[in-house]
Chain A
């Protein structure tokens, strides 16, 4: 597999910390895009719904939106961008496997794959 699987780190609720984490994602993504490699962001499902505070929420939802935009830019160039979101008690090996599957897949782009049932009955991100 080539490409970037980028796991969002936990951040505090300070703007410097949030910006630093989003900047880290930008830098690896720009390098991947230049190489026309796939990008997969891995975030926590709870953060897409804002349940662990604003810092982690801004990172997770920021990455989801960035992936959707990156996906649009990869169309035609042949590279993809996707997101995996996992529940707190998810098997991380399974999360990693899904991330690798998305990085290897052709034609699947701009998708959010959620591991675990935590999103059921909740807001669509």
Chain B
């Protein structure tokens, strides 16, 4: 299925791995949102720099899709930030900024692009294993839980034309997880049955699978890519 796929948060970490995976396994042309032109390593990746939380951010992405002239066959809502604090210490600003980026931007972009998406296309929303709860992340956990609800609602409303699923990555080796103090990170790894952090590529592989017809009977689901951490 030839066409374009929008990936948000494509500049680094999981988003970059997703964009590169899709570009290398075509025939997809990837629109990498938040990606600076100099970071677009492949001709198959078209960079678009935009603040998705701005009033006209989603419309800017839609215009980029329309300019490309290819059918839109996929959307990956990946962009996310953290502003961790215990609930008692969390500021209004840190609460709102995480909600706006992780949930608001994903929702507004999905609403903007859904009408452009072709019959048989797919949407993948990157949630987090933190949707099951994670100390010091009331805002992040709420935002990712919201992504799960958005996934279910859109799966129902967009069926049978568009499949919508979510992935909940656990501890993944990325810029975000490298911000966790090493001592704490080591303890987190100790609690993972597969005894290591995941890689961005392992998330990207799951995204790729959910975007292709190999997963054609799956919609409204949350797939945890977490090395078994939810059990231990």
Contact = CB atoms under 8 A, between A and B. Distances in A.
A69 B141 contact: yes
B153 A70 contact: no
B122 to A, nearest CB: 17
Contacts of A54: 107, 149-150, 153-154, 157
Nearest to B222: A123
Contacts of A70: 87, 138
A101 interface: no
Interface stretch (B9-17, B31-39, B64-72, B97-105): B97-105
A15 B138 contact: no
A15 B107 CA distance: 8
Nearest to B153: A50
- Chain B interface size band reads 35 or more
Contact of B87 (A33, A47, A48): A33
Given A19-B96, A50-B152, A57-B150, A26 B135 contact: no
Contacts of A18: 103-104, 107, 146
Q: Taking chain A's interface residues, is the majority helix, strand, or loop, or is none over half, making it mixed? A: helix
Contact of B131 (A47, A60, A65, A123): A65
Interface string A3-36: 0000000000101001100110010011001100
A62 B139 CA distance: 9
A38 interface: no
Interface of A: 13, 15, 18-19, 22-23, 26, 29-30, 33-34, 47-54, 56-73, 110, 123, 125
23 contacts: A19-B100, A19-B104, A23-B92, A26-B95, A26-B138, A30-B90, A47-B149, A52-B153, A56-B153, A58-B149, A58-B150, A60-B149, A65-B131, A65-B141, A65-B144, A65-B148, A67-B133, A68-B141, A69-B87, A69-B134, A69-B136, A71-B133, A110-B133
